[in-house]
Structure 1
Amino acid sequence: MVFADLGRRLNSALGDFSKATSVNEELVDNLLKTICTALLETDVNVRLVQTLRSNIKKKINISNLPQGINGKRIVQKTVFDELCTLVDPQVQAFTPKKGKPSVIMMVGLQGSGKTTTCTKLALQYQRKGLKSCLVAADTFRAGAFDQLKQNAIKARVPFYGSYTETDPVVIAQEGVEKFKKDRFDVIIVDTSGRHQQEKELFAEMVEISEAIQPDQTIMILDASIGQAAEPQAKAFKETANFGAVIITKLDGHAKGGGALSAVAATNTPIVFIGTGEHINDLEKFSPRSFISKLLGMGDLEGLMEHVQSLNLDKKNMVKNLEQGKFTVRDFRDQLGNIMKLGPLSKMASMIPGMSNMMQGMNDEDGAIRMKRMLYIVDSMTEQELDSDGLTFTQQPSRVFRVAKGSGTSVIEVEETISQVRIFAQMAKTMGGKDGILGKLGGNPAAGLKKDPRQMAAMQKRLQSMGGGGMPDFNPGSMNFGDISKMASSLMGGGGGGPGGFDLKGMMNQLQGAAKPPRRR
């Protein structure tokens, strides 16, 4: 993952700083030296790093700095704020509105992921209730129209293009006019990839822009091109005057600092970031959330927004849980929901303290294992799906039939049934009149208000996290030393103690599930 190494180094530097007994100039200088070195080695521009260091030094007055935890928090907050400024030019990007046609022109280098990003962006706007469409004006690259057409059909987004017309200006103009007549809210025009030395293609880009008069021009910036990103971005800025940036390929292993330098050099806001090849792998960019995740402090707001945007199927499961039931069908639905969320490492980066725990976990192996579990449950009968898995224990021949039908091993089927049985037992404990949900009136939050003892226990647990009640999730004011305490508390002291949620145990279980199945 791009910036993963930078995040670990920054997190480590701030973590070591928080352990110091007192704050002095030498300690602050060592911290800044580590941070600046990490940024330079990630291809962030030297001038940018020097400015960052200078700004932090100006804002930290060692002689007036209080000693102890308050002094350390002031330094940490200053570092956090300046890192946010590094990726936030304080410029407001254009926002499309419903009922008014908005034309967005996409530009960028060849191979930057522009065509794929066009479809992702159209889908993003569709989810916000905007009527979006695509225009394929890339006539330079062979197969560009076919690629956009295939992606658009998959995403169910209307598109316009031509196999016979070779002039991209004509295609762009005709496509925009057609969709404006059809009253679309967002019209995204895909153009050919081009390089600053290709003067003819740059002239073509200007012609397209003059013909369609875009409300916004977005540059697609590949995170893997390193320090070449800055001069390329400047050339595009001078010619096309783009008003926003989408950084792609953040799921790779490149350094990525060059892209951040390009954003700062052109004083242009990042609007989205591409985190994978899947059609849903486009995230809205927020400077504070981005830096927060980079430092291992999570992004709970982003996590909730991501989960809500997927419209996950959970109604039947909630209804069953209230009755103390959990079926194989519920298990299948939740597997589908988990796979919609994306890679486990991506989810973990949004939870405070979890990103470091996920190191070494192979997302690809985990995804394959979950797919095989889906094959298993899809090979079951309606009766088996509506059971809690006990029927397989009572009639072992069903296990062999499902294994054969799904193309998996008997061991894998048994392990899947085992998982269902564990959840079914938990559902019995939680559901029904005598269960936990029943005692809380089916609503844990409302139940806590009704039961003073439950509320007191919850307050005590929150206080053990290092705060004086509900923990402050504002990264700027949080002590980096509290991150591990919070993670430990979320994990129930590492072992899922009474009243605790065994998050670590869950991750270990998922990690185990990612391993190849044993052979009998």
Structure 2
Amino acid sequence: MPFEGLASRLQNVFGKLRSKGKLSEDDVNDALREVRLALLEADVNFKVVKDFIAKIRDRAVGQEVMKSFTPGMVVVDIVNKELTALMGGAQSKLARSNRPPTVIMMAGLQGAGKTTSAGKLAKVLKKENHRPLLVAADIYRPAAIKQLQVLGEQLQVPVFALGDKVNPVDIAKQGLQHAKDNGNDYVIIDTAGRLQIDEALMEELKNIREEVKPDETLLVIDSMAGQEAVNVAQSFHQQLELTGVILTKLDSDTRGGAALSVRAVTGLPIKYAATGEKLDALEPFHPDRMASRILGMGDMLSLIEKAQEGIDAEKAKEMERKMRKAEFTFEDFLEQMEQVKKMGPLDQILEMLPGAGKMKGMQNVKVDEKQIDRVQAIVRSMTKQEKLKPEIINASRRQRIAKGSGTTVADVNRLLKQFEEMKKMMKQLSSMMGPKGMKNLKSLKGKMGGGRRFPF
């Protein structure tokens, strides 16, 4: 989870406040002292922490808090709002030119994940029915062009390259013309990075910017770099007039304070955040949702969006019918597992549930994806008849299935028992599935309106 260590500490602090019937000024000050230490240890900028704590204290020691029936909840709500404001307040969407193509120039130091982020961004745009073009303008780093071409092949996104002997400014210029000629509505230019900021790098980036006049100049920074990431952002912004930031490695627990500092220090919005290495692990950055997740209040809006993306409505309708009539088979089970896996890593899905961090056994939960693979292997080792009628699976069949899936008979027995229990449970929950369920999800999302929180 993003900010896992910080989130755990903050949730413990506010958990103590929630349990109190009344709050004194000393209670608030003690809690804010712990919050201050947690933020500094996460490498949040010192001045940012100082201002943040001062704003909360001003609001949290007022009469409305002290006289409230639920003072702890009021304080948490204040922190949630201030944390949201600290990270930018509202989502900052990607610019779109009135005269396509929209040009996005990627900048950053080597090792920040710039080329991979360019590919991930292309995938995001393609999913939104755009026609992005990747332009390989990094001629210095060995294999940078090849890396972008490989990403393009995986994503089925075209890549414009002229090799490493052509001036990057000319590559960017010709790439833009290629996009115009071929109907691409977004151009993502992968520029060169350095191990550190130098004059030659900045001059080249300025020349590219002057030539293609990008609608967005996005800096890719490594969240693990902590305060240094903010210093890098300041340096680039002074030279290039950046329009936003993409944070990488936000799933790491190491010095994640960059996301909490970069907006306050530079004024630049965080446009996207990468929460994993896979090409679909780039998400629009929603300050309100991130604040909610840090404080253990869940992120139902993102969860609903993932469900709407990953679940096929027609298949869900058929699944609902089968569940109601108790016709759910192992064939359906396999299909259901595939649809759930499309939503992303299961531990990331679970952490979006409100209050999941406080559920017994859910703290710092790590879902073993290999266990899921083993379950799928067991099911795939069954015959078609066995998948349709698991009740026919006798002792000899169980031995064959175990051998075919590389598991044990005990594993097969366990799955068969769990499957029967799951069928009973799914029958009870069938009203949540299918078009009615998807309609309910959309309705819930609309009612939440991006701002409602679950105060668990």
Fold conserved (TM > 0.5)? yes
Note if contact 1:3-1:294 (Cα within 8 Å) is conserved in structure 2.
yes
The Cα of 1:189 is off from its aligned counterpart by: 1.2
Instruction: Give CA-to-partner distance per residue, 1:283-324, whole Å, 9 cap, x none.
Output: 211111100000100011111012212344534422322332
- Name the counterpart of 2:51: 51
* Amino acid in the other structure paired with 1:155: L
Higher alpha-carbon deviation: 251-260 or 160-169: 160-169
Note if contact 1:196-1:236 (Cα within 8 Å) is conserved in structure 2.
no
Distance across 1 between alignment mates of 2:318 and 2:97:
35
Distance across 1 between alignment mates of 2:11 and 2:258:
21
The Cα of 1:390 is off from its aligned counterpart by: 1.7
The Cα of 1:425 is off from its aligned counterpart by: 4.4
Aligned residues: 445
- Name the counterpart of 1:500: none
- Name the counterpart of 1:213: 213
- Name the counterpart of 1:361: 365
Note if contact 1:392-1:399 (Cα within 8 Å) is conserved in structure 2.
yes
Distance across 1 between alignment mates of 2:231 and 2:421:
57
The Cα of 1:205 is off from its aligned counterpart by: 1.3
Note if contact 2:323-2:423 (Cα within 8 Å) is conserved in structure 1.
no
Residue 253 of structure 2 aligns to a residue in which SS? coil
Fraction of identical pairs, as percent? 33
Q: 1:138 to 1:412 in 2, by over 3 A?
A: farther
Alignment of 1:84-163 (within 5 A): 84-88=84-88, 92-96=92-96, 100-163=100-163
The Cα of 1:138 is off from its aligned counterpart by: 1.6
- Name the counterpart of 1:505: none
Instruction: Give CA-to-partner distance per residue, 1:194-237, whole Å, 9 cap, x none.
Output: 35532212211112222221110111111101221121111110
Note if contact 1:115-1:148 (Cα within 8 Å) is conserved in structure 2.
yes
Higher alpha-carbon deviation: 39-48 or 172-181: 172-181
Q: 1:310 to 1:90 in 2, by over 3 A?
A: closer
Distance across 1 between alignment mates of 2:188 and 2:400:
50
> 380, 383, 394: which one pairs with 1:381?
383
- Name the counterpart of 1:406: 405
Note if contact 1:115-1:190 (Cα within 8 Å) is conserved in structure 2.
yes
Q: 1:422 to 1:109 in 2, by over 3 A?
A: same
- Name the counterpart of 1:332: 334
Residue 288 of structure 1 aligns to a residue in which SS? helix
Higher alpha-carbon deviation: 37-46 or 206-215: 206-215
Q: Does residue 185 of structure 2 align to residue 185 of structure 1?
A: yes
The Cα of 1:104 is off from its aligned counterpart by: 0.6
Residue 69 of structure 1 aligns to a residue in which SS? coil
- Name the counterpart of 2:67: 67
- Name the counterpart of 1:454: none
Q: 1:266 to 1:171 in 2, by over 3 A?
A: same
- Name the counterpart of 2:235: 235
Note if contact 2:91-2:284 (Cα within 8 Å) is conserved in structure 1.
no
The Cα of 1:277 is off from its aligned counterpart by: 0.8
Q: 1:446 to 1:126 in 2, by over 3 A?
A: closer
The Cα of 1:113 is off from its aligned counterpart by: 1.3
* Amino acid in the other structure paired with 1:373: V
Residue 355 of structure 1 aligns to a residue in which SS? helix
Residue 136 of structure 2 aligns to a residue in which SS? strand
- Name the counterpart of 2:444: none
Q: 1:421 to 1:56 in 2, by over 3 A?
A: closer
TM-score between the two structures when normalised by the length of structure 1: 0.78
- Name the counterpart of 2:393: 392
Instruction: Give CA-to-partner distance per residue, 1:396-421, whole Å, 9 cap, x none.
Output: 43333333333333333333333333
Q: 1:11 to 1:408 in 2, by over 3 A?
A: same
Alignment of 1:446-465 (within 5 A): none
- Name the counterpart of 2:414: 415
Q: 1:211 to 1:317 in 2, by over 3 A?
A: same
Q: 1:207 to 1:8 in 2, by over 3 A?
A: same
- Name the counterpart of 2:250: 250
Q: 1:292 to 1:360 in 2, by over 3 A?
A: closer
Note if contact 1:93-1:269 (Cα within 8 Å) is conserved in structure 2.
no
Note if contact 2:18-2:71 (Cα within 8 Å) is conserved in structure 1.
no
The Cα of 1:360 is off from its aligned counterpart by: 4.5
Instruction: Give CA-to-partner distance per residue, 1:140-162, whole Å, 9 cap, x none.
Output: 11111222222222222222223
> 323, 326, 346: which one pairs with 2:325?
323
Note if contact 1:135-1:187 (Cα within 8 Å) is conserved in structure 2.
yes
Alignment of 1:1-80 (within 5 A): 1-60=1-60, 62-63=62-63, 65-80=65-80
Q: 1:54 to 1:177 in 2, by over 3 A?
A: same
Distance across 1 between alignment mates of 2:12 and 2:405:
46
Residue 291 of structure 1 aligns to a residue in which SS? helix
Instruction: Give CA-to-partner distance per residue, 1:299-358, whole Å, 9 cap, x none.
Output: 111110122123445344223223321111111112212322222221122111103443
The Cα of 1:388 is off from its aligned counterpart by: 3.7
Residue 211 of structure 2 aligns to a residue in which SS? helix
The Cα of 1:52 is off from its aligned counterpart by: 1.0
Residue 314 of structure 1 aligns to a residue in which SS? helix
Distance across 2 between alignment mates of 1:441 and 1:335:
16
Distance across 2 between alignment mates of 1:142 and 1:109:
15
* Amino acid in the other structure paired with 1:334: Q
- Name the counterpart of 1:504: none
Instruction: Give CA-to-partner distance per residue, 1:14-58, whole Å, 9 cap, x none.
Output: 121122232332222112211111111110111111111222233
TM-score between the two structures when normalised by the length of structure 2: 0.88
Note if contact 2:298-2:355 (Cα within 8 Å) is conserved in structure 1.
yes
Gaps of 5+ in 2: 441-446
- Name the counterpart of 2:372: 370
